[in-house]
Structure 1
Amino acid sequence: MADDVHPRRTTDYLMPLWRAVAVFRVAALVYAVITVSEDFPHYRHPNGGWLVLGVMTLWTAVTVLRYPPGPRAQLLPSADLAVTALCVLSTAWIETPTRLAAGAPPMAVMWMGGPVLAWAVSHGRRAGLVAGAVVAACNLAIHVPLSAYSLAQLTFAPGLLLLLGAAVGHLARLAVEAQASIERGARVEAAARERERLARAVHDSVLQVLTQVAKQGIAAGGEAAELGRLAGEQEAALRALIGTSAVDLADAGDGQADLRALIAPLGNALVSVAAPATAVPLPARVAEEVSLAVRAALENVHRHAGSQARAWILIEDEADAVSVIVRDDGPGFAPERLADAARLGRLGVAQSILGRLRDLGGEADVRAWPGEGTEVRLRVPRGTGAG
């Protein structure tokens, strides 16, 4: 079953299948009554036949009323399989050896398919195959010696039970996954509508104010120009944030986050972000730590390269890892400067960038060339940090 679907909602999705199982049980019981009525005169223990039929009738009522099993009835499928197996095995005592050797059907006939269906709907195709194998084994056991039967006779009923369990289990899984996809699509659509509403509200208020501050600050010059520049950067970042698709934010899946959606808001007039066209999913904690390392790299650009330095962020989604490269056109620095800073206790790069990636099981490399800028390379292997 789909792992991200709540068990109670899963049961609701499968109610049509449970109703079909109930109809099958009742119809199979009617067929068993007809079969027992016709074969009654030939039984070795006729009263035993009616006794088993009574058990089948009572158990049919129980399963029709109690399925699907709730939290307090988790053992019901196991009990169902056990009762059915006993009813099938009882045929060896009720029927005559001669009739069994001639291929007489078990007491339960089609009714023995009930628990196979129940297991398949409740737990999926593997469980359906297990239940089918148990019932099929009981059916073969009452027809020993097997040498009296052709290969077709031996494999028809067991093969049909196994096919029944696999097919219905697969159908049940498809039903759950389809319903989960519908619900997830509805959530994404609702999130997209909410994002659009917020975007309109922000555009009509905050963005207009930031635009006006940026224009007037730059025109005034001096300290106001710096304020105008900061307002312009925040405007660009806010536009990128509200422009990020809600589908992009949600498509990474349960426990995952799209790294693009976390890094895209960092782009502005001085920072360019290049990313793949599709989502770059990582475990949520890993994606957050990588984005914080990128932010730390950009802070170092503004702090050491100047307020007008440009930066470029490149996200690469590789088969076995995700890489992020941050470059700037600042003055750079001498290769030994990082080691000197760490020795003097200035651990900004060592902790906020290198330390973060090391804790994630990834790699970080800072390269700089005097007069030619700085490059920070971050790389996180796939599957790391998920726990």
Structure 2
Amino acid sequence: MAAGMSVEQPLWRALTAYRVLTMGYALALYAHAYGEYVHPLGAGAYLAVLAVWTLATVRRVSSAERCTPPFLAVELAVALAGILLTPVVDTQARIDAGGPTLPSIWTAGAVLGFAIKKGWRWAAAASLLVGAANVAAAGGFAQDTVHNVLLVCIASIAIGYVVEVARASERTLARALRIEAATRERERLARDIHDSVLQVLAMVQRRGAAIGGEAAELGRLAGEQEAALRTLVSSGVAPEAAAPRAGASVPGSSASPAAVPPQGGGAERGEDGGECDVRALLSAYAGSRVSFAEPGAPVSLPAAAARELAAAVGAALDNVRTHARGPSGEEAQAWILLEDEPDAVVVTVRDDGPGIPPGRLEDAEAEGRMGVALSIRGRLRDLGGSAELLSVPGQGTEVELRVPKR
């Protein structure tokens, strides 16, 4: 687990600042009480070592990778040495009066290091060692000594426990993110399968049934494979992730069932990292039964988003071609309207077919027919946009696709 992913790295930085500040505090206490020490030079020598150690190890403490358990053990040893040296260089009267040890509150930094690095159990063990050293230096269980020891112990255990909980939460979050990434990739693959393989199998089934003979048997086998593949796709994709398919054949055009709309040259199409004029992609869908209305100026989107939007439009038109028929049986007329709004690109696909009966989309999803769910709504959701479908029986269907520009 990278330290930068969690609360750990700020804690290490805080510990670094704590060590430097408390080192300065210990030096200030020594300077203030210099004349009261029995051996001021001995105390000064220890504090000099403490200052050099603290400043020389600033980088070690600022990173979880560099602050290893052996280093923390040496850090704790420095603190314990200062505590046990206090009765040697200070007067018993000052010690009995609750005077600070040589390292003073710098000692807590060593214990907190164990709490952050190894958790509350190691922090508790380090606290016990510090407590034992303080009791030994004070010559007994003085009230101030017990108070200070309990304060350090409780604080370090609490911080160690919080760090352990944070680490567990991060592992859960990382696992959830991996699952989400895998789910999105599975949805993308399912979308591609729906836009190509399933449509081809469905076409083979229809053509085989129409031709008859040996072709009818081939169509029957294709239908069985289509049903099995639809079951596999629908069982591996969450319903809310589904969306209508894209890149399907277009009414009035000669595109094959799995075709992706033709794209213009480099300037119109754009590279994956560049901009693309949506008009150039959608104009490929215009035909004898598809009318396309567009603004006079270019309508730009990132190239990948523009292609996904065009694929979703293709899926909507394929639904018109497959399901919408006029009273005499001819294909319904479809209209595409492209609008360039200040913060979004909106494409409306409307037809004059019989509309979608209530509950038909839900039944289709249950049967594994994920056209609207995968190829339209799923694509728009992945783009951060929305797909709204309005259908009134006898009055046609309208699909509004909205993609934010940013």
Using the size of structure 2 for normalisation, the TM-score is: 0.52
Match of 2:183 among 184, 192, 217: 192
Given that 2:202 and 2:223 are in contact with CA atoms closer than 8 Å, whether structure 1 keeps it comes out as: yes
> 1:81 — aligned with what?
76
* Distance in 1, Cα, partners of 2:214 & 2:147: 88
Letter in 2 for 1:82: A
User: Aligned in 2, Cα 1:246/1:168: closer, same or farther, shift over 3 Å?
Assistant: farther
Given that 1:84 and 1:108 are in contact with CA atoms closer than 8 Å, whether structure 2 keeps it comes out as: yes
Match of 2:38 among 41, 44, 55: 44
Are residue 155 (structure 1) and residue 150 (structure 2) matched?
no
> 1:144 — aligned with what?
139
* 1:235 Cα deviation from its structure 2 partner: 2.6
Given that 1:69 and 1:76 are in contact with CA atoms closer than 8 Å, whether structure 2 keeps it comes out as: no
Match of 1:102 among 84, 97, 106: 97
* Distance in 2, Cα, partners of 1:240 & 1:157: 67
> 1:171 — aligned with what?
162
* 1:21 Cα deviation from its structure 2 partner: 0.2
User: Aligned in 2, Cα 1:87/1:231: closer, same or farther, shift over 3 Å?
Assistant: farther
> C-alpha deviations, 1:325-377, integer Å up to 9, x for none?
xxxxxxxxxxxxxxxxxxxxxxxxxxxxxxxxxxxxxxxxxxxxxxxxxxxxx
Using the size of structure 1 for normalisation, the TM-score is: 0.54
Point out which structure has higher relative CO (alpha carbons under 8 A, 6+ apart).
2
> 2:254 — aligned with what?
none
Identity %: 38
Unaligned runs of 5+ in 1: 249-387
User: Aligned in 2, Cα 1:247/1:159: closer, same or farther, shift over 3 Å?
Assistant: farther
User: Aligned in 2, Cα 1:217/1:242: closer, same or farther, shift over 3 Å?
Assistant: same
Secondary structure of the structure 2 residue equivalent to 1:208: helix
> C-alpha deviations, 1:11-33, integer Å up to 9, x for none?
66422111100111111111111
> C-alpha deviations, 1:296-350, integer Å up to 9, x for none?
xxxxxxxxxxxxxxxxxxxxxxxxxxxxxxxxxxxxxxxxxxxxxxxxxxxxxxx
Match of 2:52 among 42, 50, 58: 58
User: Aligned in 2, Cα 1:206/1:63: closer, same or farther, shift over 3 Å?
Assistant: same
User: Aligned in 2, Cα 1:113/1:74: closer, same or farther, shift over 3 Å?
Assistant: closer
* Distance in 2, Cα, partners of 1:246 & 1:92: 71
User: Aligned in 2, Cα 1:231/1:162: closer, same or farther, shift over 3 Å?
Assistant: farther
Unaligned runs of 5+ in 2: 240-406
5 Å-filtered alignment, 1:112-123, equals 112-123=107-118
Are residue 24 (structure 1) and residue 18 (structure 2) matched?
yes
* Distance in 1, Cα, partners of 2:151 & 2:164: 20
Secondary structure of the structure 1 residue equivalent to 2:192: helix
* 1:202 Cα deviation from its structure 2 partner: 0.6
> C-alpha deviations, 1:204-241, integer Å up to 9, x for none?
11112233444566778888777655544433332233
Are residue 211 (structure 1) and residue 202 (structure 2) matched?
yes
Q: Number of paired residues? A: 237
Secondary structure of the structure 2 residue equivalent to 1:106: coil
Question: Root-mean-square deviation (CA), in Å?
Answer: 3.0
5 Å-filtered alignment, 1:153-302, equals 153-214=144-205, 230-245=221-236
* Distance in 1, Cα, partners of 2:51 & 2:88: 19
* Distance in 2, Cα, partners of 1:79 & 1:238: 63
